[in-house]
Structure 1
């Protein structure tokens, strides 16, 4: 009989590690642009940090997956821990000294993004060794619920600390990372390193994750339609709602309520997921989520109440979170052990690459067509995606894994508390299963249907 998650020592450590690290990251996510604006007075420079961070993540995501499959994952996580602590320490000291040079901020943001690209697939793979397949859905839901809660609370705490002293949010992030590092250092479970002949970053290695996703019609369809199409359209939908219900920027109350409801919906969805067994009802959840977004877009075209709009968006986000948890659990189970890192990186790459363009498209539609027509166009895009998810044979058939590579005997083994002779002495964090927050996270994630 499998050990319950509440008694699973290593899962509890990974959960707490993420709690500390995400909380610290969320506090600094609000404080960093405020700091740059205060020191430079330039919104362009504040935006540059976010752009650099996003670009660094996208560029290094696939190589990070290769590293996670070539190096023992717990060891790799500890190395990333040390790098993240070093980066955040440098920024914290600079802010306490009264001046954080723009060059330092960019370097720290880039380092955080690169380390995130390596840490996330390593943690994703280690989670598979820590949690048995029949508990993966519940474990994923608990990680999502933790992160959704912190993302509601963290910016508020960070803003309050920044009001007291501009260095306090970064100090809090340092403390969070330190506690997170301790938790990861205490994890005993190890996963095997899969060493192969040839170049580490060859074309075949970099595209192995994409190739695996492409060869399974179910994974391919869900990621392209739900991960890309729905994610893009929901980003446009929420930005348009933010602009419309903020009365073009004259009042932030209505738009802020809508966005808060979206975050609350993600939290409620994560809390409900363990009771709904999303990995067993994934197709129904995907279809219901898609059509709910279509109906919401149609309703927003005629609504004038931020309250109703926020509640509709919250329902969409809650359903999306449950569906995403089910899909992620399925992905972890069907992926061969020696490709977990590359597959996770490839899935994250596909679902992330369109996120910056959703709000841009929403703004362009709103400017060119006005609110009602903008919601209408977004609704059409959502309807096309929903129709594909409903009718596609590949989605109805579900995920049928190809013959998996034999698991290495070392996977899932536990070591003693003492570090091994080749381990670094020593971190950052689990989001959705295995996602880590960058050391510096200057802009919030664009969350929506298909956000994996």
Structure 2
């Protein structure tokens, strides 16, 4: 496999740089053993990487708690205000705050200590959700208090997730980056499957329980973070830039890099198409007279496909070159979405789309693992925030676009349009020099 085209010339071996593979996770040689063993040879599997596993567990807890409260918040607002409109407003505001905070979160992630940022976010969320839970117990919870928690929680979630994803590069060797992304994908699908039912169960027992449970999850996450001893960023040798200048530097790096430009053009339409397809299938099943149970079962099939795909991602990545893998997944996804469109009013539509969702984690692991490798550490937060903002903003428009299309077209035609969007992304990947240049995942140098 061809060597990665790093954006900067690699630093000489004698350059002062942090050891990405801390000795706490490797077996030290005993007397009589050769001392020339390389760092890569000493590396254990990802499952034995203490620092990464602690970070992974902390985010598992955070994700599960957030999923519980996200399910319970609209229910709480509905009980407090008796207004479905205000209940829906909570979700909209949370999404908007997350999107607005994404770029500032990238700048802060690159400027400040990442572990300290995550600790502050968890401490805030522990305090906010504990206060809300106690207010519900005592009967003094108001809409104003709920909105403060929603806005503050969404901002903290954006900052925490950006810092967490940027930190991974410093906790695992380059050989494990794609596997680490795949495990994060499995975590996201797993918590999205388990969190909402648990939140609904707890809300049925007592309205305060999902929020107190969320506070507990962030407290445990905070404890896990404090146990990580390894630095989560490389030393910064240059003075911090202003927010505007830092953002421009990140944008310039993205636009100057062929792979990152391709990533923007591929990730955004893929995310939009998946979101739009799922929304269209749900509406189509309801229009066709399927039961609510059948609609819920279809949603569960999608989530299960993603979870199984995340588990299989490391194995799938090892069998193909990265460019071949990305092209194969892109074109296969377009064909599977087209197959779903042919049975749009039947439960069978969920099966091909679930197969496409199954391929998603492998694509994300390949693309974002490679992104983490070629992006210098001091730009990780800004690059990630720009890519995520592009992808999530396109996804946010997908339900509205799907609803507009279905008002004038059939569900089958609407789904074919989303399949066509993926086909355009596949064509982009096929002719992109940035995708063709993908090679072995090797960390770029970082000069601060």
The bucket for the TM-score relative to the shorter chain is 0.7 to 0.9
Alpha-carbon distance in structure 1 between the residues aligned to 2:306 and 2:366: 14
The equivalent position to 1:323 in structure 2, one of 363, 379, 382, is: 363
Give the Å deviation of 1:264.
0.8
Q: How does 1:292-303 map to 2 (within 5 A)?
A: 292-303=332-343
Three-state SS of the structure 2 residue aligned to 1:355 is: helix
Structure 1 residue aligned with 2:427? 387
Moved more, 156-165 or 297-306: 297-306
For each residue in 1:199-251, what CA deviation from the matched residue of structure 2 results, as whole angstroms up to 9, or x when unmatched?
5312x211322222211112211222x21112212222111111101226763
TM normalised by structure 2 equals 0.84
Give the Å deviation of 1:70.
1.2
CA RMSD in angstroms comes to 2.4
Question: What residue ranges of structure 1 are gaps of 5+ in the alignment?
Answer: 409-452
Alpha-carbon distance in structure 2 between the residues aligned to 1:77 and 1:138: 22
Alpha-carbon distance in structure 1 between the residues aligned to 2:48 and 2:165: 20
Structure 2 residue aligned with 1:417? none
Moved more, 395-404 or 16-25: 395-404
1:290 is the counterpart of 2:330? yes
Structure 1 residue aligned with 2:263? 222
Q: How does 1:174-253 map to 2 (within 5 A)?
A: 174-190=215-231, 191-192=233-234, 194=236, 196-197=238-239, 199-202=241-244, 204-224=245-265, 226-247=266-287, 251-253=291-293
The equivalent position to 2:182 in structure 1, one of 117, 125, 141, is: 141
Give the Å deviation of 1:160.
1.1
Contact 2:177/2:369 (CA < 8 Å) preserved in 1?
yes
Contact 1:137/1:279 (CA < 8 Å) preserved in 2?
no
Structure 2 residue aligned with 1:70? 111
Structure 2 residue aligned with 1:2? 43
Alpha-carbon distance in structure 1 between the residues aligned to 2:340 and 2:54: 43
Three-state SS of the structure 1 residue aligned to 2:243 is: coil
The equivalent position to 1:59 in structure 2, one of 85, 97, 100, is: 100
For each residue in 1:79-113, what CA deviation from the matched residue of structure 2 results, as whole angstroms up to 9, or x when unmatched?
22222212212211112222421111111111112
1:85 is the counterpart of 2:116? no
For each residue in 1:48-102, what CA deviation from the matched residue of structure 2 results, as whole angstroms up to 9, or x when unmatched?
1122222212222111111111112112221222222122122111122224211
TM normalised by structure 1 equals 0.84
Structure 2 residue aligned with 1:450? none
Alpha-carbon distance in structure 2 between the residues aligned to 1:36 and 1:166: 11
Moved more, 137-146 or 188-197: 188-197
Change in CA separation of 1:56 and 1:87 when aligned onto 2, cut-off 3 Å: same
The equivalent position to 1:338 in structure 2, one of 361, 365, 378, is: 378
For each residue in 1:316-350, what CA deviation from the matched residue of structure 2 results, as whole angstroms up to 9, or x when unmatched?
01101111011111111111121111111112111
Alpha-carbon distance in structure 1 between the residues aligned to 2:396 and 2:312: 29
Alpha-carbon distance in structure 1 between the residues aligned to 2:260 and 2:344: 38
Alpha-carbon distance in structure 1 between the residues aligned to 2:430 and 2:164: 33
Alpha-carbon distance in structure 1 between the residues aligned to 2:156 and 2:211: 18
Change in CA separation of 1:407 and 1:130 when aligned onto 2, cut-off 3 Å: farther
Structure 2 residue aligned with 1:420? none
Contact 1:73/1:192 (CA < 8 Å) preserved in 2?
no
Alpha-carbon distance in structure 1 between the residues aligned to 2:315 and 2:380: 27
Structure 2 residue aligned with 1:429? none
Change in CA separation of 1:26 and 1:316 when aligned onto 2, cut-off 3 Å: same
1:21 is the counterpart of 2:51? no
Alpha-carbon distance in structure 1 between the residues aligned to 2:354 and 2:70: 23
Q: How does 1:379-418 map to 2 (within 5 A)?
A: 379-398=419-438, 405-406=445-446
Question: What residue ranges of structure 2 are gaps of 5+ in the alignment?
Answer: 1-41
Alpha-carbon distance in structure 1 between the residues aligned to 2:447 and 2:173: 14
Structure 2 residue aligned with 1:411? none
Contact 1:266/1:317 (CA < 8 Å) preserved in 2?
yes
Give the Å deviation of 1:299.
2.4
Change in CA separation of 1:152 and 1:401 when aligned onto 2, cut-off 3 Å: closer
Change in CA separation of 1:195 and 1:62 when aligned onto 2, cut-off 3 Å: farther
The equivalent position to 1:347 in structure 2, one of 373, 387, 393, is: 387
Query: Whose RCO is larger (CA < 8 A, sep 6+)?
Result: 1
Alpha-carbon distance in structure 2 between the residues aligned to 1:189 and 1:110: 31
Alpha-carbon distance in structure 2 between the residues aligned to 1:364 and 1:298: 19
